[in-house]
Structure 1
């Protein structure tokens, strides 16, 4: 596996995000339109794309959240490649890059409907935190925070 640091202009990232959005439409059902408005990829400067045998199989990104933290966004691994440590590698790369940029923490939001994601973040040291911003009052949202 190789990891590429890039931006949201990268076509492999854009294709993976389309697959992610299709997947999330099935998960979120009628709430999908609400969540989608917060997941645009315009002008993301910090994007990681994972490749296996030169095939793009996963992605993730972050953006500044506040002066101390970044927000992890658009984490996705193609279902055919799950269980191979790809998500962990992407997450580690995003955390390392966040730290290099001077941030001391990461936050993220995921869904109770994505138990694999919840398990990944918990295992990786993320702790539940009160829902922030647009996720306040959203019963399917779970927010996490991790100090770097």
Structure 2
């Protein structure tokens, strides 16, 4: 039986969405000692280039992901999470975000994860992201690894 994953854009402050964001933060904290929330609180949710999406299976929110603007043409992938491994939830969310990013005018996407997060690094490599020099606040952080992908 194949489960249908539906993806939709929503507001990350929506009460129904907060649980999946908290689950992601708790998961990151348990695994890596940091919940990643500090880079998710200062965003302009009303910015037309900000995209936040959730994945649902049978009305259960099973994943999320976001893109925030870095510049006019560069977006940063943030808060990617799949509640259930092996169901292509992450792939489905990321493909949706990439399509929306391209339609929004982004030409490139970048992201950061922890070097320790081998699962995420392997996931992004399989989605054709390449290791790039650490950028922005990650420049002098050896625990960070950054990836990029052209949408052209």
Fold match (TM-score > 0.5): yes
Residue 70 (structure 1) aligned to one of 75, 98, 119: 75
Equivalent residue of 2:62, what SS?
Answer: strand
Gaps of 5+ in 1: none
Deviation of residue 126 (structure 1)? 0.4
Are 2:118 and 1:115 aligned? yes
Q: Partner of 1:3 in structure 2?
A: 7
**Quick one: which of 16, 19, 26 aligns to 2:20?**
16
Using the TM superposition, give the Cα deviation of residue 36 of structure 1 relative to its aligned residue in structure 2, in angstroms. Answer: 3.5
Match of 2:146 in 1: 143
Instruction: Tell me the number of residue pairs that the alignment of Structure 1 and Structure 2 aligns.
Output: 143
Displacement of 1:139 in angstroms is 1.6
2 CA distance for matches of 1:46 and 1:100?
11
Aligned-pair CA distance for 1:11:
2.5
Tell me what 1:93 maps to. 96
For each residue in 1:42-82, what CA deviation from the matched residue of structure 2 results, as whole angstroms up to 9, or x when unmatched? 5434111000111000000111111211000100111xx11
SS at match of 1:4: strand
1:21 is displaced (CA, Å) by 0.8
RMSD: 1.6
Displacement of 1:127 after TM fit? 0.6
Provide the residue aligned with 1:37 in structure 2. 38
* Unaligned 5+ runs, structure 2: none
Segments ≥4 residues shifted beyond 4 Å: none
Provide the rounded CA distance (Å) in 2 between the counterparts of 1:120 and 1:13.
Answer: 23
Higher helix share: 1
Q: Give the conservation status (yes or no) of the 8 Å contact 1:27–1:113.
A: no
TM-score, normalised by the number of residues in structure 2: 0.87
